[in-house]
Amino acid sequence: MSRRAEKYTYQPDVAIPPGETLLETIEVKGMSQRELALRTGITPKTINGIVKGKAPISMETAMALEKVLGVPARFWMNLEQQYRALAAELEEKKQLFEWGAWTKRFPIRELVKRGFMPEAPDSPSEVRYLLEFFSVVSPEAWSNVYAKPQQAAFRAPGRARRAPEIVSSWLRMGAILASKASCPPYDEKAFRTALKSIRGLTRETPDVFQGRMIELCAGAGVALVLVPEMPGLGISGATYWLSEGTPVIQLSLRYKKNDQLWFTFFHEAGHIILHGKKDIFIEENNGLDVDPKELQADEFAADLLIPKKDYRTLCDRLGIRPSKAEVESFAQSIGIAPGIVVGRLQRDKVIPFSHMNDLKQTLCRADV
């Protein structure tokens, strides 16, 4: 049945306990609750509790009612199950309605647009879909998992805090995609080898490098997922581990130039190789990192892309006025894109940020 069809399906708003049917049945037979208790051997208190919907009808009780009233036990059990199910559903709907304001802090429209949530016909349904998306049962459970101060995912030393509702939505999309990836157990040696091959892809266009780098990472047991950013995110990439032990590199595609993309990727790769499984690292690329682990990941990325010895040779050779031809020649000699060399020189203040940007490859989200 479609969501549209469900919207117009009759939904009762009151759960009628089976005790009402029981009361009508004994009244038709001219029997009192006390007499029914005597005939069935069930206490008057239990009979009255069933009539008022406070006590459930057990299988033993249903069989006793069948013997005394001639109504099949399965009839009473079906009434009981339907009543309990509807009562629970109505109680849940009431609770979901009360939580309606909670969803307003999340990028619901983006989640629907990207296919991670169906479009909700009403507020309770929207809450239910959002809880299902995060695999939690309540806003409190979401807060315990995603938004407590001790969660490394939402701490960014030296940086402005991002709204946990936005960050957690982006991370959760990546985790869902990563969980669907087919990866063998993580192998650090194989990952280091894969990184060397991926480094050689920096000179390629997105239509060539994207699929290949995902395959190379997966072969080493690393899930690489590309989840475009959303308003208010301001994050370049993240590294974390799934519960089953699979490391994930998640990129937001907020980059405009290829040097940013590649540095972020190798930075995240550095976290996987250098740091523990329990840590979650989120990168904003705003130049305010002071965490030693972030600096270590920076150094790992910089040295893998341009080995220290080669970089020293480059700086000695360039002098005070490097030319584009020298930069392009050097990049070709070490097998990387010239834009990466330009980005490194700019980052280290060897050349101004306004110089040689035409050597960088411009990236569009549609390309990556």
pLDDT given for residue 15 in this prediction: 81
pLDDT given for residue 109 in this prediction: 95
Residue 39 CB contacts under 8 Å (≥ 6 apart), including other chains: 31, 68
pLDDT given for residue 279 in this prediction: 78
d(CA 199, CA 236): 19
Upper half-sphere CA count for residue 336 (Cβ side, 13 Å): 28
Helix then strand count (H, E) for the chain reads: 17, 4
pLDDT given for residue 155 in this prediction: 32
d(CA 340, CA 326): 14
Report yes or no: 325 and 291 within 8 Å, Cβ to Cβ. no
Which segments in the chain show pLDDT lower than 50? Answer: 1-8, 149-160
d(CA 56, CA 87): 12
pLDDT given for residue 6 in this prediction: 47
pLDDT given for residue 359 in this prediction: 86
d(CA 203, CA 337): 5
d(CA 228, CA 115): 13
**Could you read off the pLDDT of 313-323 as tens digits, one per residue?**
887 776 666 78
DSSP string across 124-185: HHHHHHHHHHHT-SSHHHHIIIIISTT-GGG--TTSPPPPHHHHHHHHHHHHHHHHTS---S
Structure tokens at 299: 């150094």
pLDDT given for residue 366 in this prediction: 52
pLDDT given for residue 280 in this prediction: 84
Percentage of residues of the chain with pLDDT beyond 70: 88
pLDDT given for residue 149 in this prediction: 42
pTM score of the predicted model: 0.79
pLDDT given for residue 256 in this prediction: 76
pLDDT given for residue 9 in this prediction: 52
